[in-house]
Amino acid sequence: MDPVTWIYIIVMVIALILSVALAPKPKNAKPPALSDFDVPTVEDGREVMDFGGTVWIDDPNITWYGDLKVYPPIQTSSGK
């Protein structure tokens, strides 16, 4: 390889080392709690909103979502 290629490789390695060394460290190391997420909920007695058109709902009340089932993993044999 010619000298320009070696210089390019050296500069890229130095840039990589500097970017990792100077990257900001996370301040809060604790994992997020369930209350940190905004997820749809189901509550008994809560009103179901009725609206027309396309709108954004900040706090949806899910009354039904699909047919959620758990299936066992597929196990196959090699036939030997």
Q: Distances in Å between the alpha carbon of 9 and those of 2, 12, 69?
A: 11, 5, 52
Are 63 and 42 spatial neighbours (Cβ–Cβ below 8 Å)? yes
pLDDT tens, per residue, the chain with 80 residues: 788 999 999 999 999 999 999 998 878 677 777 677 666 666 777 776 777 778 777 766 666 666 656 677 777 777 66
pTM above 0.75, yes or no: no
